């Protein structure tokens, strides 16, 4: 929270100073120095607190005066009413509260403002939103209204101001900084030991600066709308002038263009007739050459096509034969791998049925025996004798027609050879 307060104070103070520097001419530097010294003396804790009360009342009076000018502009008055703002009333009440504030509360208020550099420039920055031309217009109409000479509504909500009387984005940013700084002061006020009366004053000031923000944004919006309308009117006039110029120029060009078209038409017709004869003669010559060339190419294509047909047919037949041979070889190899995998299975594994049956019954039992024999021969290990014994038992079972037992004995012989 302390960091937040410091940030708000620094930002608010900096923008206060920037705003004051913006609205003050360089030639007034000496005057500003004297004003700063005077204010430093008033803000010093050892100074008479009643001097601060008077200075603070002047501050509030300047804010009140600016807000009354703002409220005298119908468009701004309408916006303030729509937003529920009571900024003029709250500043008036704040001045009354200040007059009734006890010295102790006033000391605490001064202590809080002493931590906000440039706070006194806030009311002047708020007043600077009403540019000299607009200020003179409003003050003149207010005086006439007071004397009963004119209605204040003569300043219509949508009346276009002079461009120099329109607040800039910089002005709007500066007034928003005043609102931020007002929040910072409220943060600096002690949370206890301070009366509601003193807090109400800071609340009123914040409402005043908030009304200033709304005023600046409203005047800027009116100015922007007026600029757009003026720009649109200028474009419309330029379009009108350009249209007249284009029409006049178009009428002058029409005769020139018509004559040129007529001359060009005659030249084109004559040239076209001449080209037609040339094209027809050339076409007849080319037609004969094309027909002769086409007949020659047709014979060459037919002869070449017949030769290619024989070559392609032979190549297809050779490829087909090679594919069949390769497929049969792959089929035999794949079958052998499946039989070997089944022979290597555990004894309790169910064998593939076609591996049990002999060839006469559509099976591969003879191929199974061949694979077992090849395994015994190729491996030729210490268990060769056992493997051959099991092979012989399988042969006996096969001869007796017990194909299932024959297969299981071949499986045992295969695994014996592999161990």
Q: Which residues of the chain have pLDDT under 70?
A: 1-28, 148-159, 191-195, 197-198, 228-236, 239-243, 245-250, 253-254, 256-264, 268-269, 275-276, 279-280, 290-291, 301-302, 312, 316, 319, 323-324, 327-328
pLDDT of residue 4: 45
Q: How far apart are CA 331 and CA 33, in angstroms?
A: 108
Residue 181 near residue 15, CB atoms below 8 Å: yes
Displacement of CA 412 from its chain's centroid (Å): 74
How would you label 382-416 residue by residue, b for 16+ Cβ within 10 Å and e otherwise? ebeebbbebbebbeebbeeeebebbbbbbbbbbbb
Cα Rg of the chain (Å, integer): 55
Handedness of CA 93, 88, 133, 17 (dihedral sign): positive
Which tokens go with 366? 């003879």
Sequence-ordered list of residues with C-beta below 8 angstroms from that of 355, at least 6 positions apart, any chain: 339, 342, 363, 364, 365, 368, 407
pLDDT of residue 343: 94
Tell me the angle at which helices 169-188 and 2-23 cross, rounded to the nearest 10 degrees.
Answer: 140
pLDDT of residue 230: 61
Q: Which pTM does this prediction carry? A: 0.45
- Per DSSP, the three-state class of 388 is helix
Long-range contacts of 282-291 (CB under 8 A, 24+ apart): none
pLDDT of residue 405: 97
Q: How far apart are CA 64 and CA 208, in angstroms?
A: 8
Q: How far apart are CA 110 and CA 96, in angstroms?
A: 17
pLDDT of residue 261: 22
- Map tokens 């047709």 to a residue: 298
């Amino acid at each position: 929270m302390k960091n937040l307060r410091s940030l708000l104070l620094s930002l608010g103070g900096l923008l206060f100073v920037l705003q004051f520097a913006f609205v003050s001419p360089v030639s007034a530097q000496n005057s500003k120095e004297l004003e700063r010294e005077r204010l430093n003396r008033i803000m010093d804790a050892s100074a008479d607190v009643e001097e601060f009360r008077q200075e603070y009342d002047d501050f509030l009076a300047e804010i009140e005066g600016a807000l009354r000018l703002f409220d005298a502009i119908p468009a701004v008055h309408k916006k303030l009413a729509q937003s529920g703002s009571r900024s003029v009333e709250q500043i008036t009440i704040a001045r009354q509260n200040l007059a009734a504030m006890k010295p102790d509360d006033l000391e605490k208020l001064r202590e809080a403002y002493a931590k906000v550099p440039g706070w006194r420039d806030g009311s002047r920055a708020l007043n600077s939103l009403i540019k000299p031309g607009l200020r003179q217009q409003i003050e003149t109409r207010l005086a006439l209204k007071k004397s009963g000479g004119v209605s204040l509504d003569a300043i219509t909500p949508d009346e276009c101001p002079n461009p120099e009387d329109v607040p800039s984005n910089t002005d709007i940013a500066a007034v928003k900084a005043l609102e931020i700084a007002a929040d910072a002061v409220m943060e600096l006020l002690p949370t206890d030991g301070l009366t509601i009366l003193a807090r109400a004053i800071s609340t009123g000031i914040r409402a005043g600066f908030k009304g200033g923000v709304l005023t600046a944004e409203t005047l800027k919006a009116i100015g922007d709308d007026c600029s757009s309308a003026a720009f649109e009117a200028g474009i419309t006039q330029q379009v009108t002038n350009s249209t007249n110029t284009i029409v006049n120029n178009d009428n002058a060009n029409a005769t020139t263009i018509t004559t040129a078209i007529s001359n060009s038409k005659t030249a084109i017709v004559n040239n076209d007739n001449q080209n037609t004869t040339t094209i027809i003669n050339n076409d007849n010559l080319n037609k004969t050459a094309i027909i002769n060339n086409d007949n020659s190419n047709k014979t060459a294509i037919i002869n070449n096509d017949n030769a290619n047909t024989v070559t392609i047919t032979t190549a297809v037949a050779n490829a087909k034969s090679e594919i069949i041979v390769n497929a049969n070889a792959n089929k035999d190899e794949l079958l052998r791998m499946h039989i070997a995998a089944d022979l290597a299975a555990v004894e309790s594994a169910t064998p593939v049925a076609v591996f049990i049956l002999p060839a006469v019954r559509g099976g591969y039992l003879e191929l199974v025996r061949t694979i077992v024999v090849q395994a015994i021969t190729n491996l030729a290990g210490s268990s060769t004798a056992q493997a051959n014994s099991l092979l012989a038992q399988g042969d006996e079972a096969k001869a007796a027609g017990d194909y299932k037992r024959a297969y299981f004995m071949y499986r045992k012989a295969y695994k014996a050879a592999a161990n």
